[in-house]
């Protein structure tokens, strides 16, 4: 991606500082790159230090600027607090947070255990809330304006069979977006969310299209998947100056796939026992890497 792929003037976000959870790879990396290109300092956090360090080095090599890698598992409250202490000490209050970190895999719901539910919900639902709360308390105490963006899916409107813990967790963040948009609006903190359709990433394809190779646009009315700069532009718009009156919205960017098909995994109703066995083995193989 280059500045030419973005809709905005150079330096739009100069002097601003943002945190992107799960910013080392996938959509988080794409959005981090866009914020960096527009002049912001970007903190990226995740569980895997080598991945984060490599992404930070690559992005700075490509574009200059400042990307700071922070190892933080958002399932652990103390890691969140320690990381935010470091970030605040590094340059004061953040200007925004992107709740992007997620975990997901396709499974028949009857095959899940309580631990499997926790594996997803502790990242997506609880982890994102705790991160938002910790940032929010700091912003409120300092009277600082900020923008929070959560990366959801269109399933927040219609649920998703075969990814029920994710659908429940993301629906929870949709409710958080609507609720806190009102509760903290008067104090300058706004909340929005993006519900992306298919923007294939390696991690997503491995867990949601196991063994299926590259994710293809299926029955998308525009007959294609999303392009990363399209997502990056929307994220930059919602994080930046000029969109302040947009608050409490979850915005789909999916070529109208949701309207056309519901956008979820209902097609897997056709799968047989063998298909589910293969899927689970394929996901386990990916996670062992």
Task: Report the interface residues with ligand HXC, using CB under 6 A.
Answer: 102-105, 107, 111-113, 115-116, 119-120, 123, 153, 166, 198, 203-204, 207-208, 280, 283, 287
Choice between 166 and 247, CB closer to ligand HXC: 166
Choice between 203 and 248, CB closer to ligand HXC: 203
CB of 26 to ligand HXC, least distance (A): 7
Q: What is the number of residues in the chain?
A: 289
CB of 105 to ligand HXC, least distance (A): 4
Distance, C-alpha 222 to centroid of its chain:
23
CB of 274 to ligand HXC, least distance (A): 15
d(CA 124, CA 160): 15
Choice between 132 and 220, CB closer to ligand HXC: 220
Choice between 105 and 191, CB closer to ligand HXC: 105
Distance, C-alpha 144 to centroid of its chain:
23
Cβ atoms of 173 and 132 within 8 Å: the answer is no
Choice between 161 and 188, CB closer to ligand HXC: 161
CB of 115 to ligand HXC, least distance (A): 4
CB of 207 to ligand HXC, least distance (A): 5
């Amino acid at each position: 991606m280059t500045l030419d792929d973005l809709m905005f003037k150079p330096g739009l976000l100069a002097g601003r500082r943002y945190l992107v959870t799960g910013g080392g790879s996938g959509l988080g990396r794409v959005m981090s790159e866009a914020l960096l290109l527009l002049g912001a300092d970007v903190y990226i956090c995740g569980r895997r230090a080598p991945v984060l360090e490599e992404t930070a080095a690559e992005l700075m090599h490509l574009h200059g600027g400042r990307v700071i890698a922070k190892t933080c598992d958002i399932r652990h409250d103390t890691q969140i607090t320690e990381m935010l202490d470091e970030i605040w000490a590094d340059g004061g209050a953040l200007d925004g947070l992107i709740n992007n970190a997620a975990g997901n895999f396709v499974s028949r719901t009857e095959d899940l255990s309580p631990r499997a539910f926790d594996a997803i919900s502790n990242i997506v639902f609880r982890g994102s809330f705790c991160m938002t709360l910790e940032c929010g308390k700091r912003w409120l105490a300092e009277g600082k304006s900020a923008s929070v963006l959560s990366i959801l899916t269109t399933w927040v409107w219609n649920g998703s069979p075969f990814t029920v813990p994710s659908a429940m967790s993301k629906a929870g963040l949709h409710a958080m977006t609507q609720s806190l948009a009102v509760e903290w609006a008067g104090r300058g903190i706004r909340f929005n969310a993006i519900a992306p359709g298919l923007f294939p990433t390696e991690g997503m394809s491995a867990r949601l299209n196991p063994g299926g190779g590259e994710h293809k646009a299926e029955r998308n009315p525009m007959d294609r998947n999303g392009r990363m700069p399209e997502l990056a532009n929307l994220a930059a718009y919602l994080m930046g100056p000029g969109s302040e009156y947009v608050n409490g919205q979850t915005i789909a960017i999916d070529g109208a796939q949701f309207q056309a098909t519901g956008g979820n995994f209902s097609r897997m109703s056709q799968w047989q026992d063998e298909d589910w066995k293969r899927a689970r083995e394929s996901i386990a193989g990916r996670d062992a890497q």
